[in-house]
Amino acid sequence: MSLAMTSGPEGLDVDPTRAGKPQQIVTFKVEGRTFGVDVGAVREIKGWQPTTPLPNAAAHVLGVINLRGAIIAVYDLRQRLGLGPSPVSRSSVVIVLDLGERYGGILVDAVSDIVDILPSDLRPAPDVAGDGDDVLTALLVKGDDVVALLDLAAIVRETTHDMAA
Amino acid sequence: MDALAEIRGIYFDECDEFLGQLESTLAAIADGRAKTDDIHAAFRAVHSIKGGAGAFGLSQLVEFAHLFEACLDALRSGRIAVEDAPIDILLQAGDILSEVVAAARDGGSRPPPPALVEALEAMAGGKPQPKGSATEIDLLNDPVDEAPAAEETPAPAAPVAAKHSVELRIAPDRDVFRRAFNPRMVFDTLASLGSIEVTCDTSKVPTIDTLEPFDCCLSWSVRLETDASDQVLAETLDSFLADHEFRIVRDGEDDVPVIGEIEAAAPETAAAVQPDDAGANPAAAAEKPVAAAAAQATAPPLANGSGPVRRHGGGTIRVDLDRIDRLMNLVGEIVITQSMLTERANVLPKRDAAAFVDALFSLARQTRELQDNVMAVRAQPVKVVFQRLPRLVRELERSLGKKAHLVLAGEDTEVDKTIVEELADPLIHMLRNSMDHGLETPQERLEAGKPADGTIRVSAEHRGSRILICVSDDGRGINRERLIAKARSRGLIPADAPDPTPEEADNLIFHPGLSTAQTVTDVSGRGVGMDVVRRNVEALGGRITVESTPGKGCKFTLGLPLTLAVLDGMIVRAGTERFVFPLSSIVETMQLDSKMVEQLPGGRHIMQLRGEIAPLLKLRDLLGIRAIGNEPNVVIVETETVRRLAIAVDEIVGQQQVVVKNLESSFRRVEGVSAATILGDGLVALILDVDALPGLSQTQRRAPTTSELTGAA
Amino acid sequence: MRILAIDDTRTLRELLCRTLRAASYDVVEAENGEEGLNRFHEHKPDVVITDLNMPVLDGIEFTRAVRQRPDGGEVPIIILTTESGADIKAEGRKAGATAWMVKPFDPQRLLDMLTRLRT
In the sheet that holds B577-582, the strands lie side by side as B651-659, B566-574, B577-582, B684-688, B673-678
Omega within 30 of 0 (cis) for the link into C104: yes
Per-residue model confidence as pLDDT tens digits over B572-586: 998 888 999 988 888
- For residue C75, give the amino acid letter: V
* Confidence at residue B306, expressed as pLDDT on a 0 to 100 scale: 38
How far CA B622 is from CA of B573, B626, B690, in Å, comes to 14, 11, 11
Minimal Cβ distance to A56: which of B624, B684, B685: B624
**Contact state of A64 with B667 under an 8 Å Cβ cutoff:** yes
3-state secondary structure of B265: coil
Q: What is the mean pLDDT of chain A?
A: 76
pLDDT at B685 over 70: yes
Beta bridge partners of A75: A61, A106
Q: Which helix (H) or strand (E) holds B169?
A: strand B164-170
Exposure string (b/e) for C65-99, b if CB count within 10 Å is 16 or more? bbbeeeebbbbbbbbbbbbbeeebbebbbbbbbbb
CA atoms within 13 A on the CB side of C19: 19
Task: Work out the pLDDT band at B118, boundaries 50, 70, 90.
Answer: confident
pLDDT at B343 over 60: yes
Helix B87-105 / helix B114-125 crossing angle, nearest 10 deg: 120
CA atoms within 13 A on the CB side of B349: 2
* Confidence at residue B110, expressed as pLDDT on a 0 to 100 scale: 85
Radius of gyration of the CA atoms of chain A, in A: 15
Determine whether A16 is exposed, middle or buried from the number of CB atoms within 10 Å of its CB (0-12, 13-18, 19+): exposed
What's the average model confidence in pLDDT over B557-580?
86
- DSSP assignment of B392-419 equals HHHHHHHHHT--EEEEEE-TT-EEEHHH
CA B678 to chain CA mean position, Å: 31
Which residues in chain A are contacts of B666 at CB distance < 8 A?
A: 64, 70-73, 102-103
Q: Which helix (H) or strand (E) holds B608?
A: strand B605-609
Question: What's the CA gap between C68 and C38, in Å, rounded?
Answer: 14
**Contact state of A1 with B668 under an 8 Å Cβ cutoff:** yes
Question: What's the CA gap between B426 and B531, in Å, rounded?
Answer: 10
**Contact state of A70 with B671 under an 8 Å Cβ cutoff:** no
3-state secondary structure of B217: coil
Question: What's the CA gap between B333 and B336, in Å, rounded?
Answer: 5
**Contact state of B670 with A103 under an 8 Å Cβ cutoff:** no
Give B257's DSSP letter: P
Q: Quick count: other Cβ atoms within 10 Å of Cβ A3? A: 19
Domains of chain C: 2-113 (3.40.50.2300)
Give A41's DSSP letter: G
Name the residue in chain A with its Cα closest to that of B579.
Answer: A52
Phi/psi class of residue B682: alpha, beta or left (left: φ > 0; alpha: ψ in -120 to 50)?
Answer: left
Question: What's the CA gap between B699 and B605, in Å, rounded?
Answer: 11
- Please, are residues A42 and A31 in contact by the beta-carbon 8 Å criterion? no
Which residue from A66, A57, A70 is spatially nearest to A1, judged by alpha carbons?
A57
Question: What's the CA gap between B681 and B683, in Å, rounded?
Answer: 6
Give, in degrees to the nearest 5, the angle at Cα B280 between B277 and B282: 110
Name the residue in chain C with its Cα closest to that of B300.
Answer: C119
Which residues in chain B are contacts of A101 at CB distance < 8 A?
A: 665
Give B301's DSSP letter: P
Question: What's the CA gap between B690 and B667, in Å, rounded?
Answer: 20
pLDDT at B139 over 60: no
Give the list of residues 6+ apart from residue B90 with CB closer than 8 angstroms, or none. Answer: B26, B29, B30, B71, B72
- Please, are residues B136 and B185 in contact by the beta-carbon 8 Å criterion? no
- pTM for the structure as a whole: 0.46
Q: Which of B1-5, B233-237, B393-397 has the highest mean pLDDT?
A: B393-397
**Residues of chain C numbered 55-74 and touching chain B (CB < 8 Å):** 55, 67-68, 70, 73-74
Name the residue in chain B with its Cα closest to that of C100.
Answer: B239
CB pairs under 8 A between B and C: 160
Give B643's DSSP letter: S
Beta bridge partners of A123: A139
* Confidence at residue C119, expressed as pLDDT on a 0 to 100 scale: 57
- For residue B244, give the amino acid letter: H
- Please, are residues C111 and C23 in contact by the beta-carbon 8 Å criterion? yes
3-state secondary structure of B189: helix
Give the list of residues 6+ apart from residue C70 with CB closer than 8 angstroms, or none. Answer: B270
B309–chain C Cβ distance below 8 A for any pair: yes
Question: What's the CA gap between A113 and A24, in Å, rounded?
Answer: 10
Chains with 3 or more CB pairs under 8 A to chain B: A, C
- Please, are residues B413 and B562 in contact by the beta-carbon 8 Å criterion? no
Q: Are strands C2-6 and C26-30 parallel, antiparallel or unpaired?
A: parallel
* Confidence at residue B713, expressed as pLDDT on a 0 to 100 scale: 33
- Please, are residues B461 and B410 in contact by the beta-carbon 8 Å criterion? yes
Candidates B340, B622, B684, B698: best to mutate against A (most CBs of A within 10 A) is B684
C and B adjacent (3 or more CB pairs under 8 angstroms): yes
Minimal Cβ distance to B143: which of C13, C15, C104: C104
Minimal Cβ distance to B184: which of C23, C102, C119: C119
pLDDT at B423 over 50: yes
Which residues in chain B are contacts of C52 at CB distance < 8 A?
A: none
Q: What is the mean pLDDT of chain B?
A: 75
* Confidence at residue B282, expressed as pLDDT on a 0 to 100 scale: 43
Q: Which helix (H) or strand (E) holds B59?
A: helix B59-76
Chains with 3 or more CB pairs under 8 A to chain C: B
**Contact state of A65 with B684 under an 8 Å Cβ cutoff:** yes
* Confidence at residue A163, expressed as pLDDT on a 0 to 100 scale: 42
* Confidence at residue B686, expressed as pLDDT on a 0 to 100 scale: 94
Domains of chain A: 16-162 (2.40.50.180)
**Contact state of C55 with B41 under an 8 Å Cβ cutoff:** yes
What's the average model confidence in pLDDT over B309-317?
49
**Contact state of C103 with B143 under an 8 Å Cβ cutoff:** yes
Question: What's the CA gap between B493 and B495, in Å, rounded?
Answer: 6
- Please, are residues C17 and C24 in contact by the beta-carbon 8 Å criterion? no
The maximal CA–CA distance of chain B, rounded, in angstroms, is 121
Minimal Cβ distance to A71: which of B577, B622, B663: B663
Per-residue model confidence as pLDDT tens digits over C72-82: 888 899 998 88
**Contact state of B146 with C118 under an 8 Å Cβ cutoff:** no
Minimal Cβ distance to B672: which of A55, A65, A68: A55
Radius of gyration of the CA atoms of chain C, in A: 13
What's the average model confidence in pLDDT over B496-503?
81
Question: What's the CA gap between B589 and B370, in Å, rounded?
Answer: 31
**Contact state of B178 with C104 under an 8 Å Cβ cutoff:** no
Omega within 30 of 0 (cis) for the link into B267: no
- DSSP assignment of C22-88 equals HTT-EEEEESSHHHHHHHHHHH--SEEEE-SS-SSS-HHHHHHHHHTSTT-SSS-EEEEES---HHH
Minimal Cβ distance to A69: which of B333, B625, B667: B333
**Contact state of C55 with B40 under an 8 Å Cβ cutoff:** yes
Candidates A66, A72, A101: best to mutate against B (most CBs of B within 10 A) is A66
A and B adjacent (3 or more CB pairs under 8 angstroms): yes
Task: Work out the pLDDT band at B641, boundaries 50, 70, 90.
Answer: confident
Per-residue pLDDT of chain A (165 residues; tens, 9 = 90+): 333 333 334 444 444 444 456 788 888 888 888 888 888 888 888 888 889 999 888 888 999 998 877 899 999 988 888 888 888 777 788 999 988 878 899 998 888 888 888 877 888 777 655 555 677 888 888 777 788 888 888 888 776 444 443
Which residue from C72, C24, C19 is spatially nearest to C47, judged by alpha carbons?
C72
A47–chain B Cβ distance below 8 A for any pair: no
pLDDT at B709 over 80: no
Name the residue in chain B with its Cα closest to that of A50.
Answer: B683
Task: Work out the pLDDT band at B474, boundaries 50, 70, 90.
Answer: very high
Exposure string (b/e) for B551-572, b if CB count within 10 Å is 16 or more? eebbbbbbbbbbbbbbbbbbbb
pLDDT at B561 over 70: yes
pLDDT at B505 over 70: yes
Q: Give the residue, B530 or B589, on which the prediction is more confident.
A: B589
Minimal Cβ distance to C23: which of B43, B147, B303: B303
Q: Give the residue, B532 or A48, on which the prediction is more confident.
A: A48
User: Cα-flanking dihedrals φ and ψ of residue C7, to 5°?
Assistant: -160, 135
Percent of chain B with pLDDT over 70: 78
Candidates C18, C93, C101, C115: best to mutate against B (most CBs of B within 10 A) is C93
Chains with 3 or more CB pairs under 8 A to chain A: B
Q: Quick count: other Cβ atoms within 10 Å of Cβ B446? A: 12
* Confidence at residue B377, expressed as pLDDT on a 0 to 100 scale: 82
Candidates C11, C15, C20, C25: best to mutate against B (most CBs of B within 10 A) is C11
- DSSP assignment of B516-558 equals --SS--TTT-SS-SHHHHHHHHHHTT-EEEEEEETTTEEEEEE
Q: What is the ipTM, given to two decimal places? A: 0.81
* Confidence at residue A111, expressed as pLDDT on a 0 to 100 scale: 83
Question: What's the CA gap between A139 and A123, in Å, rounded?
Answer: 5
pLDDT at B706 over 50: no
Question: What's the CA gap between C40 and C34, in Å, rounded?
Answer: 10
Minimal Cβ distance to B179: which of C31, C96, C102: C96
